[in-house]
Amino acid sequence: MSRRTVSRNGLVNRREFLALSGAAALAACAPTTGGGPSATAVSATATPKRGGTLIWAQILDNSVIDPHVATEASAQEIDGEIFDFLVAADSDLNIQPWLATKWTIENNATKYTFTLRDDVTFHDGTPFDSTSVKKTIERIVDPATKAGRALALLGPLDHAEAPDPRTAILFFKEPNPLLLVSLWRPWFGMLSPKQLATLKPGEPLTTPIGTGPYRFAGRTADGQTTLERNPDYKWAPAFAANHGSTYFDAIKLRRIAEPGTRVATLESGESLLVDDLPEADYVRLKNDKRFTFLQAGKKGPGYGFFFNVKKFPVSELAVRQAMNWAVDRQSIVDKVLFGVHHPLVGPLTEGVWGRLDDIEKTIPYSGDKKKAADILARTSTTSATRWARTSIRTSCAGAITPSSSDRRTSRTPPTRSWTTSW
């Protein structure tokens, strides 16, 4: 649930909605990867207009916007507008060129050689080149940075080289075949080497400088971050709908944690884009002519409760199977989530790379309490199965299992959206 309409990389980790109103945007967040009510589409014939300021109400803390250490999705939404990346992923999860025009993988994926664009500049006027890549990667692996997720996704780096301005080489201590899958993620924004030279080891970026379509313009004492359009921007990925500068003059982002307040600012016009519109409010507002919703499903982990299978009583397979069969997922979706989402059996939603789609058909959990009881009846009597029989007969209300919600719970958000309205 976040920003414009179509994710540039297709990995939508939260609801993405945008409603256009002249040069500004009216937006709210809602449904899921299929199964939920359809949202009204923006007219394909609408002609975007430049100008205006997007007022964005976020749900999570956005105070730490250093891309190498930021953990909250709201902060990464900001970083996604400031920074660009070596590669991008299209809607089919194919890796596409971006700041790197091409690459070669050698020596059993222990050596990656990137050829870089020669027409990119940072917001401070510094040209983007191989030194930018080398210094950025070296900052990630510096223990003083405490990069966390970025360090884990980068893999076992041995060292980085910049033999000439257009060539960057990354060497790894062991095969790293998934590097390209990581490099488009929000932790790998390319940093200005000029700015990095002014930082002490471990010093966080508080006024980040990137090559992205928006540049950091300041942050107020009450936490509002302002981004201004980068008028020189012209290096979006090939699949982006807009290859020039952005349509909005500026974006102003602030955290409004309380859902009711966020929704109220949307309805009053104070906010033009809000994160995490509750299901009940989506159902209430979806036919409101003031708003136009575009719908995209969350891709990532499902939304639900998960159990520690080392603990009693779910340490026994029969108990876990019985609980899964006993819970009526569809009723939970209909009654608790207002029919906005759809049931999910496996741990991942549709469209995730490597997902086993057949699991949704081969294990059709459906709220069948009789089948749950039969499983336990065929199992040797233990304290765990006795507990399960009693619990299933009494109530299954507390055993909510995953539903394919695109609520913004994942911590791996897309870094930017690419649309004609962007």
List the one residue out of 89, 306, 316 whose CA is nearest residue 180: 89
pLDDT of residue 46: 65
Joined together, the tokens standing for residue 145 give 């940075």
pLDDT of residue 387: 60
Burial of 387-411, coded b for 16+ CB within 10 Å and e otherwise, reads: bbbebbeeebeebebbbbbbbbbbb
CB atoms within 10 A of CB 368: 16
pLDDT of residue 14: 27
Separation between Cα atoms, residue 113 and residue 161, nearest integer Å: 9
Tens of pLDDT along the chain (422 residues)?
333 222 222 222 322 323 322 222 223 222 343 333 222 224 445 678 899 999 999 999 999 999 999 989 899 999 999 999 999 999 888 999 999 999 999 999 999 999 999 999 999 999 999 999 999 999 999 999 999 999 999 999 999 999 999 999 999 999 999 999 999 999 999 999 999 999 999 999 999 999 999 999 999 988 899 999 999 999 999 999 899 999 999 999 999 999 999 999 999 999 999 888 888 999 999 889 888 776 667 778 887 777 888 988 888 899 999 988 998 989 989 998 888 888 888 888 887 878 888 888 888 888 898 999 899 888 765 665 566 556 654 544 444 444 443 333 333 333 333 332 23
Architecture of domain 20-76+212-285: 3-Layer(aba) Sandwich (3.40)
Sign of CA dihedral 12, 75, 236, 193: negative
Tell me 251's DSSP state. E
Contact between residue 199 and residue 68 where contact means Cβ atoms under 8 Å apart = no
pLDDT of residue 298: 74
Separation between Cα atoms, residue 231 and residue 103, nearest integer Å: 29
pLDDT of residue 253: 96
Q: Which residue type occupies 182?
A: S
Find the distance separating the first CA and the last CA of the chain, reported in whole Å.
Answer: 16
Contact between residue 91 and residue 233 where contact means Cβ atoms under 8 Å apart = no
Q: Which residue has the tokens 């201004």?
A: 228
pLDDT of residue 403: 40
Joined together, the tokens standing for residue 168 give 């960057």
Within 8 A by CB and 6+ apart from 268, the residues are none
Joined together, the tokens standing for residue 400 give 């909510």
pLDDT of residue 302: 82
Q: Which residue has the tokens 């409101």?
A: 288
Separation between Cα atoms, residue 384 and residue 401, nearest integer Å: 19
For the chain, the structural domain boundaries read 20-76+212-285, 87-193, 317-404
Alpha helices (runs of H) in 367-414, residue ranges in sequence order: 369-377, 383-394
pLDDT of residue 48: 82
Joined together, the tokens standing for residue 29 give 């967040």
pLDDT of residue 289: 87
Question: Which helix H or strand E contains 78, and what residues bound it?
Answer: helix 73-82
pLDDT of residue 291: 84
CATH of 317-404, one of 3.30.450.40, 3.10.105.10, 3.40.718.10, 3.20.20.140: 3.10.105.10
pTM beyond 0.75: yes
pLDDT of residue 42: 40
CATH code at 87-193: 3.90.76.10
